[in-house]
Amino acid sequence: MHYGLQDDPKRPIAFTYGKKTQISDHVNEVIKANTLSGLAEQMNDIKESKYASNVREPFGKTIDRNYNFPAEITNADFQFGVPTKGSESAKDVLFPLDGEKHETDKVADMYIKTHGDFAAGQQKNRNYHWPVDVNEHVFGKGEKDRDLNEAAKCLNPERNGLKFPNTIIVQKDVEDFQDVKGDHLGKPKNHGQGKNIDLNVTHGAYKIAKDQWNAAKCIYGEPGSLKEIGQDEDVGKCTKLNCTNKVRREVDSTRAFGIPTIRTDIPPKKMKSISEHQNFGDELPAIELMHPKTYLELGISEEDFTEKRPLDEVKKLIENVGYKFKIGKFMTIYNRAQDLEGGSDKVSIRAFLDAMRNLADIE
């Protein structure tokens, strides 16, 4: 039983959850219902023989298409299809040799003449009568005939070399029409708004009035009271039906449902597995994981330094870590540690180390 149902009312043992299965016919009864025998079966076959699907596709047999095959198919070596013949190599298709003739050249020449069907990689020959040798002549513009500053001439086609074009006097209305109609390089298009415009003029719409809504009012609104901007009554509460946090009984009003994260209600296990995920309250807090102490990796915690110990135990621990003091200096440091501990008979290792640093100059 789930631990959350410990105090809930118990249902009967024979109680069954879910929806009942609807009673239906069994498979064997359905199959037997359609089983015929004797004269009834023969009469049913006569009726079914009228259907083409029953004749072509009888039950339990392959479809019969009434093919009239020749007698050759009875031969054991007979095979359907057309045998594959060897074709020309891909190299000859991609790079045909000029002057090489095949038995299909006449058909190929006819398709070239009627459809322009040239082979892959074949040079098109349109039977032009060139005045030069096409095998030796190179078409195009030579390096010697190349003009300089071709881009500049494209941008200023009216200039002749380094000279500016001659001034031509034309009618003003014609020039004004060309100024409005054409696009000028590096200038916006003239839409006929006029030329005498003040440079300080700012284009665009006027600034909106102060009484109109701005972006801040669109986001936060303009409430009329504090109640309108306050939080709703159901904030942080579940409003889903049958999922509210209301208890059914008054005794459950202070009840904590579920199990705690740290199980202090049960004793810890003596032998805890490495894969044990349950915290029994004997683990270090999160601050120890974020900021571990200096000697934590050696199994020494902060409590080991602050635990008060008798004189013999302190002397043994100090000597084991490498400090050798004469009995007079040791007692002086121990008495000073007692003063740091408030006059206690026992002292901690932390207090003894602090007394060592204070009396470091004493021999």
Query: Which residue has tokens 């942080």?
Result: 236
Q: Look up residue 289 and give its two tokens.
A: 């994981």
Task: Provide the pLDDT for residue 211.
Answer: 66
Any domain includes 48: yes
Distances (CA, A) of 247 to 231, 241, 257: 25, 14, 11
Whether the per-residue pLDDT at 103 is higher than 70: the answer is: no
Whether the per-residue pLDDT at 119 is higher than 80: the answer is: no
Any domain includes 135: no
- Phi, psi angle pair for 279, to nearest 5°: -95, 120
Task: Provide the pLDDT for residue 67.
Answer: 80
DSSP, res 297? G
Any domain includes 316: yes
% of the chain surpassing 70 pLDDT:
85
Q: What are the residues facing 160 on neighbouring strands?
A: 163
pTM for the whole structure: 0.26
Query: Which residue has tokens 């074949």?
Result: 122
Q: Which of 66, 81, 112 is the last residue of a domain?
A: 66
Any domain includes 287: no
Q: Look up residue 75 and give its two tokens.
A: 């031969």
Task: Provide the pLDDT for residue 223.
Answer: 77
Whether the per-residue pLDDT at 306 is higher than 50: the answer is: yes
Q: Which of 47, 66, 85 is the last residue of a domain?
A: 66
pLDDT, averaged across the chain? 78
Residue 145: band (very low, low, confident or very high) from pLDDT cuts 50, 70, 90: low
Task: Provide the pLDDT for residue 238.
Answer: 72
| Cα within 13 Å of Cα(262), Cβ side | 6
- As for how many domains the chain has, the answer is 2
% of the chain surpassing 90 pLDDT:
0
Tell me the average pLDDT across 58-72: 80
State which H helix or E strand residue 56 sits in: helix 52-56
- For the ranges 95-104, 158-167, 193-202, which has the lowest average pLDDT? 95-104
Q: Residue 333, Cβ neighbours under 10 Å: how many?
A: 25
Q: Look up residue 192 and give its two tokens.
A: 């006929």
Any domain includes 214: no
Q: What are the residues facing 279 on neighbouring strands?
A: 262
Task: Provide the pLDDT for residue 261.
Answer: 84
Task: Provide the pLDDT for residue 99.
Answer: 47
Task: Provide the pLDDT for residue 85.
Answer: 76
Whether the per-residue pLDDT at 254 is higher than 60: the answer is: yes
pLDDT in tens, 18-29: 888 888 888 777
Task: Provide the pLDDT for residue 293.
Answer: 75
| Cα within 13 Å of Cα(189), Cβ side | 4
Give me the domain span that covers residue 50.
Answer: 37-66
Please indicate whether residue 116 or residue 183 has the higher confidence score (pLDDT). Answer: 183
- Phi, psi angle pair for 48, to nearest 5°: -75, -20
Q: Are 122 and 96 in contact (CB under 8 A)?
A: yes
pLDDT in tens, 221-238: 777 777 777 777 777 777
Tell me the average pLDDT across 157-182: 78
d(CA 134, CA 128): 10
Whether the per-residue pLDDT at 283 is higher than 70: the answer is: yes
Any domain includes 289: no
The contacts of residue 301 (CB under 8 Å, 6+ apart) are: 293, 295
Q: Which of 66, 83, 110 is the last residue of a domain?
A: 66
Query: Which residue has tokens 């892959």?
Result: 120
Q: Are 334 and 347 in contact (CB under 8 A)?
A: yes
Whether the per-residue pLDDT at 245 is higher than 60: the answer is: yes
Any domain includes 82: no
| CA neighbor of 344 nearest in space, from 356, 336, 353 | 336
Residue 184: band (very low, low, confident or very high) from pLDDT cuts 50, 70, 90: confident
d(CA 143, CA 22): 95
Any domain includes 61: yes
Task: Provide the pLDDT for residue 137.
Answer: 83
